[in-house]
Chain A
């Protein structure tokens, strides 16, 4: 049967991976190609690159990185960050990305999702949703979509928005809990489950992984189809292989 996926995420700025990366034996801890190779060797099922380059001058650096990684790593590559138009999607795909993530633009110009999915196929389009819980602790939970790296509230309900993106042709949803991102306290399982249960397309859970059990919980309790994490793997605390061993012990189908 189909395996649940583990996806390490690399934040890239100005051509370098940021956030601490601490693999034993890496010559250069910020080199995206070397880090991608390391995750590939560990058994990562896909890789996601998030380009957080602020300056538009250095935006093309991500293209060179993807080109170099795609020559050496033969698993699916997703690239997101700063995608504003269909031409941006085309350039990333031509550089060797298999899927392109669209976040803020999906809200400001949802027709870009539709056009890109129509042109390149839904399999190439991942819509990234950053969601924050807005309901009172004792009320039925609901979450609002934020854009621009979490700075702007949109007034959109996260579950309804995910459905709308599915309708417009997204092949997959990358769902990040803003409340949990960076806290290492585990996924927002209620959010993950609410979105995953509502959709027929796969959902990738993101934001908050601090220990291996969090990954398994995202699958079993959050009903995610894939789990994404950065720091738990970057800091060398755990390998992708260890995560998969634990998941398998708990009855989750994984690729070993």
Chain B
């Protein structure tokens, strides 16, 4: 395949955390694609697909995004191309996060990002659950979506987070986990899919989701 023909996937780099895991995993599932780790609006605008990752504190992520003047770039990409948000990259799509004293986010989706409150973190057997929610949890697919193709319902994905997405829009959630209460771990609307878990660290199930993203045309009709 000629270079000019190969799909370009931009991983948005705004200085927050290690993005090597994300690019490695994409290179693994899409060896013929060009994976670009970039903070350059021109590169991001020219890409066919966008991955929007994020690690660390929400307030720092938002500050770095604004400092690099990437807000319009991210919003333009999210309006038009297959777009995958991961972890804080998913949380940033909402209006507000409790982290860092009500940090305003991008506001693409209605809802807030809330802290796992200590008083709610009690398991059925009475034991206390730790925060961050760290490790492999079952993800229940609450709606069909092309990115769930080939992934068994209840497959485990890797999580590490202390805040979770909470939306009043019943049409947004496509995945749920329990810790100990049910919470949204994947949301989707039109060309956007976003996960609280880390597909790039989630072994076979995670690689399948990334493979599905690479193959996805950004429409929401599940494959028949």
Give residues in A with beta carbon < 8 Å to B: 1-5, 40, 45, 70-72, 74-76, 93-98, 118-124, 171-172, 199-203, 223, 225-226, 255
| CB-nearest residue of chain A to B123 | A1
CB <8 Å contact, A74 and B161: no
Which B residues touch A120, using CB under 8 A?
Answer: 17-18, 55-56
CB <8 Å contact, A94 and B18: yes
Number of interface residues of B (CB under 8 A): 40
Q: Which of A3, A71, A74 contacts B156 (CB 8 A)?
A: A3
Would you give the shortest CB distance from A9 to chain B, in whole angstroms?
17
CB <8 Å contact, B132 and A74: no
| CB-nearest residue of chain A to B56 | A121
- Complex: A96 Cα to B20 Cα, angstroms: 6
From residue 13 to 51 of chain B, which have CB atoms closer than 8 A to chain A?
17-18, 20-21, 24-25, 27-28
Known contacts A5-B135, A200-B131; 16 additional CB pairs below 8 A are A4-B135, A40-B203, A70-B24, A75-B158, A75-B201, A76-B160, A93-B18, A94-B18, A96-B21, A98-B201, A120-B17, A123-B55, A123-B160, A203-B130, A225-B130, A225-B135
- Complex: A255 Cα to B203 Cα, angstroms: 11
Q: Which of A1, A123, A124, A200 contacts B179 (CB 8 A)?
A: A1
Give residues in B with beta carbon < 8 Å to A: 17-18, 20-21, 24-25, 27-28, 55-57, 118, 123, 127-138, 156, 158-162, 178-180, 200-203, 206-207
CB <8 Å contact, B55 and A121: yes
CB <8 Å contact, A201 and B24: no
Would you give the shortest CB distance from A109 to chain B, in whole angstroms?
21
Which B residues touch A72, using CB under 8 A?
Answer: 28
CB <8 Å contact, B17 and A121: yes
Which B residues touch A97, using CB under 8 A?
Answer: 18
CB <8 Å contact, A3 and B56: no
CB <8 Å contact, A223 and B55: no
Which A residues touch B162, using CB under 8 A?
Answer: 122
Which A residues touch B201, using CB under 8 A?
Answer: 74-76, 98
